[in-house]
A and B are shown apart, each in its own frame.
Chain A
Amino acid sequence: MYSTRPDEQELKVFESLPDNYLLLSKELIIINASNAYLLLIRKERAAIAGKYLFDIFPESADWAPEADGGIRQSLQQVISTKQTDEMPVTRFDLPDEHDNGNLKERYWKTVNQPVLDNSGEIQYIIHRVTEVTDQVLRELQLEMSLEVERAAVQKSQTLRLQMERLFHDVPAQIAMVTGPELVFDYINPQYQQELFPDREILGLSLLDALPEVEGQPIYDILQRVYRTGERFIENELLVPLASVKGGPVTDHYFNTVYQPLRNEQQEVYGVLSFKYEVTEHVAARKELEGNRTQLLDANKKLGDSNEELQALHEELQASNEELTATNDQLQLAYASLHQLNNELEERVADRTRQLEESFEEQQTLNEEISAANEELLTANEELAATNEELSETQQMLKQTLNGLAESEQRFRNLIRDASVGIILLTGDDLKVEIVNNTYGQLIGRTARELNGKVLFDIIPEAEAAFRPILEQVRNTGIPLYLNDTPYTVNKDERVISGFLNLIYQPYREQDGTITGVMVLCQDVTEQVNARRQLEKSEERFRFMLNAIPQQVWTATANGTLNYVNQIVANDLGHERSAVIEQGWQTFIHPEDLSKYQKAWAASLKNGRAYQTEFRMRMKDGSYRWHLSNAVPYADNGQITLWLGTNTDIELQKNNEQQKDEFLSIASHELKTPLTSIKAFNQIMQRTKEPERLVGFINRSADQIFRLEKLINDLLDVTRINAGKMIYEMQPFNISEMVAEAIEGVQLKSDQHQIILQQADAVTFNGDRLRLEQVMNNFLTNAVKYSPQGGQILVNSQLADESIIVSVQDFGIGISEHHLDKLFDRYYRVDNTAMRFEGLGLGLFISSEILKRHGGTFWIESTEGEGSTFYFRLPLAHINTDDVIVKDDIYYEDATITISYNEAKARLDVDWTGFQDIDSVQSGGAHMLRMLKHNKVEKVLNDNTHVLGNWSEAADWAGKEWFPAMEQAGLRYFAWISSPSAFSRLSAEKSVNVKEGNVVTEFFTSINDADEWLDNCGS
């Protein structure tokens, strides 16, 4: 056996081999080791020589796959087959002397080669261990990077699909045109549907697809972007478009971004168009935006686009850097592979040289080693081949990646340049995976600040509102669309808020699992605000129109009534919709219709303000004068609306008429004495009988006196109407005043006999001269109304704490109709109006004087028999101590008796004597109380014993007392009229102005009233 040992010389050569060699006997006894091997295993040669291999390496735990890493198996195979066995690369970590002796990851390639003797038996086994740590690590790295790249590719593809889906859903129009001809290369469905529903434009050049844009600014803009590579951003860009090629062109407005598309060489190869239509909003906004807002807006937008440009620049730089870094890495990997190759080649060359030297002397070993060398060469070749393969794979990968990168880049650009915010959130914590700057701006951040962060770490204030939505979409996988959603986020000290249209799209991996949510946000703050403002202003407008206390209406440009306020409906007694449907012509007095139609037609034609007057039929069937006015509301010179009002001018019309009447009468009254005076003067100038002159002069003087009095009366009326009549209140004796007045009038009319029948001595506090004026007026009226002369009876007596003065004549009398008219003149029509007619100014002045003394006047008259004029001045108010009985079923005082009629389930009321506002209100209150208490719905109201005139209480009775009584249960009211004309007229007046639904009927006898009430109700 020993003879088989190599000799010393051989061993010396072996020992100096530069690789790790172990020389074993076939019994696996270590014969020798190369120095390199000893160095590797850090053992002395003596410590291992002559030892059994596995005694030396017992610590074989890591020698995977089996306990010894397969070495025993390999050696046995060599022994049995006598063939070289190459073991797979094994990991065996060794202590690292540069790292405190810690184990360092190392990989080894082991070859066991038999050296056969002449008989073909195994003489030695050469065990060679080659460290391949570097290669293995490179390979692993490469593999890992390949994995990463593969994953990236896969992700890119997923992303691209997502993007494509998203761009389908973006509420914006996206198109890509390429080449100098600007050929449509990509359009999203919105672009197709909203702009060209019936046209095929993909693959066509811009001019072929849209010939109508030639010569339009839009075409020049696109050309400029392509030529200069400068981005173009414009809001509310006007684009005239036809929906059908060659069809009619209409104006569309777009918020638009034209983004140049660049290839790797940074050359522009196309333009990305991103726009969304804002045609609808433009009108609304234009209405509302003042110049200032526009300026501010323009400034802000300029700032924004600067920022965007800046961000874009940064992004470009960043992606350039990334690209460079990747390139560098790849180059580095390639370089190290190359270097490794070179090293291997060098080593092989070295080793060959060494072997050549030693094998010249040592034939056998030489041959053996030569064989080993060949093996090594083969191994080297293999390694080179692997390297090449790797390099090729990498090249391919790079190409694929480039292709994919380009495709992905396109979509990344789309995202980056999109004028809608886009953000992809993944993971349970909703981390920002992808985000563009538009999104960033919405919350006051840049894309860089957000990228890779947990979104709600940055904007925790929005978590409550938006996290549930995001989770819902992620959990259900159902996309969600939310419009006009308000949002608020904080940025430093600032609060950013607005409105968004949101699209939530689940983000799916290749295998369909949802790992995140893609959100598209379109900023609609301006639109929402504009709309809200518009709504608000419209609401305010309507509210205002309804609040205006007169008729307000609007009509369309062609004159059709389209709005009336509630006042119109109330006035005309029809629903607003009914009035709008029927139009004004239904309510205008037929006599005024053509004037109205002409005026309205003229205004509609010339667009100038409209004004006319007409009588309108009111709820109660009466016609009232209205002044109708309207002004056109123009938008851009185009009339869009007429805003009109109808003002009730009945009062003014009446006043005007009365004023005209007044002037006409005054003029007549003044000219009449003047006529006489002038005539007397002319006669005097011509008379041939001087003895008649004195008579003419006297008569002329009378007329001058009459004129003077008339002028004084007119001045009084003017004073009264101006509220400037001055009264000097002093106590005086009324009977004396009456007597003096009679004396004065009697002197001037010798045909009449004025008799003072009764004159109670009463001291009254008032203006004696003014009251004497009243007395004079009554007396002269009596004289005037009894032209045939005769008696005039005067009475002045105390009654019911008042003084009542009457003047009775037996003349022509006043007809009932005329009496009603007189009452109307003095009591029904507004007090500010001027009024007087046949009776002259005197009665008007008298009524005013009496009113100022708290008094009233009234007239009783029978045509053909004469009239009695009364006035009443109160001395004191009614004393409530006069109440006789007072409980819930019976009440009685000086002016009223109320009793509960149980059998008829009603109140029986009897008014007595003169009534004024105090007595009417007091009596009315007792009636209300008893009606409530006895729960009845009928009243028999007897005015048979009422005297005088209580017109000052009529408004109160109609507008306040009747509604209160109705509230308390009153349904039927039988009213037995007073024989006194002015009292009856007062009652009629209160019923005329009455509000509510109480049924009221006038009677002249108690029996008729009783019968009517019996038949009412149940």
Chain B
Amino acid sequence: MKKKVLIIENDQVIQEIVTYILESEGYEVTGVRYAPEHLENIHADLILLDEWINRREGHMLCKEIKTISALAKVPVIIFSTAANILDIVATCGADGYVQKPFNLDILLAEIQKFLPLSSSYSQLT
């Protein structure tokens, strides 16, 4: 069974391209521009979270996610252009980060840290 990745990314193009990449690697990917109204409805094995989303900032969202028992164990990776990304990660209890613009290998390595691929199948590599 494929691992589920939820991408919360405000920028449509980035969302699409990351979805394409991760699907190519064999993940099941859901991409949204805004966080769902009810976080409890999230069903994912990993969340890739843009820091710069409109109504709630990424690190605030991360904190909220971590307070929900069902989601507390789901790794959250902060995905941001911010220069102070390490500070953000430290304050919101995120599990990892990927700096934008990103290097493809680093993005994949960061995700595989939490979701090792069951097979060596990869469209890209």
Q: Which residues of A contact B (CB under 8 A)?
A: 664, 667-668, 671-680, 682-683, 686-688, 699, 702-703, 787, 838
Contact = CB atoms under 8 A, between A and B. Distances in A.
Contacts of B81: 667-668, 671-672, 675
A714 B54 CA distance: 21
Given A668-B81, A686-B125, A679 B11 contact: no
Contact of B13 (A667, A682, A687, A699): A699
A703 B21 CA distance: 18
10 A-B pairs with least C-beta separation: A671-B81, A675-B101, A678-B101, A675-B100, A682-B104, A676-B13, A679-B17, A668-B81, A686-B124, A674-B101
Nearest to B123: A688
Interface string B1-41: 00000000001011001101100000000000100000000
Contacts of B20: 683
A674 B11 CA distance: 12
B83 A667 contact: yes
Contact of B18 (A664, A674, A677, A679): A679
Nearest to A670: B81
12 contacts: A667-B81, A671-B81, A671-B101, A672-B11, A674-B101, A675-B102, A679-B14, A679-B101, A679-B104, A683-B20, A703-B13, A838-B54
A536 to B, nearest CB: 57
B67 interface: no
B17 A683 contact: yes
Given A672-B11, A676-B14, A687 B100 contact: no
B103 interface: yes
Given A676-B11, A683-B124, A671 B17 contact: no
Contact of B124 (A673, A674, A687, A703): A687
| Interface range, B side | 20 to 34
Contacts of B42: none
B49 to A, nearest CB: 15
B104 A683 contact: yes
B22 to A, nearest CB: 12
Q: Which of A664, A672, A674, A680 has the most CB of B within 10 A?
A: A672
A838 B55 CA distance: 10
Given A667-B83, A683-B20, A686-B124, A675 B54 contact: no
Contacts of B33: 787
Contacts of B54: 838
Interface in B47-92: 52, 54, 81-83
Given A675-B102, A678-B102, A688-B123, A668 B82 contact: yes
Contacts of A683: 17, 20-21, 104, 124
Given A679-B14, A679-B21, A688-B124, 16 more contacts: A668-B52, A671-B81, A674-B101, A675-B11, A676-B11, A676-B13, A676-B17, A679-B18, A679-B101, A679-B102, A682-B104, A683-B20, A687-B124, A699-B13, A703-B13, A838-B54
A787 to B, nearest CB: 7
Nearest to B125: A686
Contacts of A679: 14, 17-18, 21, 101-102, 104
Nearest to A674: B101
A679 B102 CA distance: 7
A737 B124 CA distance: 47
Contacts of A677: 101
A677 B52 CA distance: 18
Contacts of A682: 103-104
Count chain B CB atoms within 10 A of each CB in A675, A678, A703, A838 and give the residue with the most.
A675
Contacts of A675: 11, 14, 81, 100-102
A702 B33 CA distance: 19
A721 to B, nearest CB: 23
Interface string B100-118: 1111100000000000000
A686 B20 CA distance: 13
A676 B82 CA distance: 16
B28 to A, nearest CB: 19
A664 to B, nearest CB: 8
A673 B101 CA distance: 9
A674 B83 CA distance: 15
Nearest to B81: A671
